[in-house]
Amino acid sequence: MKKNSYHFRKTLSVLSGLVFLFFLLSLSLGPSDLTIFDFWSLGETKKNDTTWLIFFEIRLPRAILGLAVGMSLGLAGAALQGYLRNPLAEPGIIGVSTSASLFTVIIFYSGLSAGFALLMPFAGILGATSAVLILQSLAGRNASALTVVLAGVAISSFSGALISLALNFSANPFATYEIVFWLLGSVADRGLDQVAIALPFMAVGWALLLWSGNPLDALTLGEEEAASLGYKLSRVRAQLVFGTAVAVGSATSIAGTIGFVGLVVPHLLRPFVGNRPKLLLSASALGGAALVLAADIAVRLLPFKQELKLGVITALIGAPFFLLLIIKHRRSVL
């Protein structure tokens, strides 16, 4: 562990390279016969040309969404783990994603968002915020890791059940089956218009979370010494809560619940950044983007008639990882 800063820069470059590679791969994959080379040779073609349409209106939004959602989830996971000092924290496990889905479902299926598309990310953010606030009141200020996870499980299960209920109330009979989307997530088949609405919110969330890097580093020393270094704890908490809610809430409102990204990525990258919370933020953002893009590529390469939902892949990777973590930290955490 000689030169930590050197490690960090190398890590960031590798991650950026991966993200770029996966982004390009994502643009090249699709059920039609077009590849990225067709795209390069577009040149002076009209905006309504088939190739143009497929790349810009179908594949590009998908790739951008995968990248943005991955960034939001990775960043939020690193921030939550840094703030709660809990290696098991992540937006899915603590119920933030599911609550965001719940509020979005209510707004969407009731038809309220038909006129105002902005209502969707707002609903997601509101749902995410409620979950974090409820979590804080359930788990208390100095709760153990176990308590936080348990409270999160409660919130998650409850929201999930309410989603099913809300879908059943819907006037459209297809709605009941759409719970699969809301609980397992997908970035497919979204138009640029929808992505353009959610993206600014996610960006605000990223800014808030990245900006909390120094306070998170200070919190390594515990709350008292962190305060003595000039950080107002209530402000830091508000920034982290709001940042997580905005980033994850808006991401979930458009892509559904995608779990485990915020758990796996910070854990894998922590050794590469010398365990420093601030550096872990930017590394996890890139790592999350890479992971979600990779999962979205895997989903398209699998030979299923109906495309698998993203959350299945992340759960297949993340759930065993979660179990391993519990076993490893059994004594110290639980």
Position among 21, 229, 324, 334 found at the interface with other proteins (CB under 8 A): 229
**Contact characters 125-154, other proteins, x per CB under 8 A:** ------------------------------
Closest contact distance (angstroms) between CB of 76 and other proteins is 18
Can residue 268 be called a binding residue for other proteins (CB under 8 A)? no
Position among 43, 115, 230, 303 found at the interface with other proteins (CB under 8 A): 230
The Cα-based distances of 68 to 40, 42, 198, 246, 251 in angstroms read: 24, 26, 10, 13, 8
Cβ-contact 314, 70 below 8 angstroms? no
Give me the DSSP letters along 244-298.
HHHHHHHHHHHH----SHHHHHHHHHGGGGTT-HHHHHHHHHHHHHHHHHHHHHH
Can residue 1 be called a binding residue for other proteins (CB under 8 A)? yes
Count interface residues toward other proteins (CB under 8 A): 57
Can residue 157 be called a binding residue for other proteins (CB under 8 A)? no
- Specify the length of the chain in residues: 334
Can residue 274 be called a binding residue for other proteins (CB under 8 A)? yes
273, two tokens: 């950044």
Q: Coil, strand, or helix at residue 203?
A: helix
Stretch that binds other proteins, among 70-78, 93-101, 129-137, 187-195 (CB under 8 A): 187-195
Question: What's the rounded Cα separation, in Å, for the pair 161 and 199?
Answer: 28
Q: Which residues contribute to the site for other proteins (CB under 8 A)?
A: 1-2, 4-5, 30-34, 47-48, 50, 53-54, 57-59, 85, 108-111, 113-114, 170-175, 178, 181, 189, 191-193, 214, 217-222, 224-225, 227-232, 274-277, 305-306
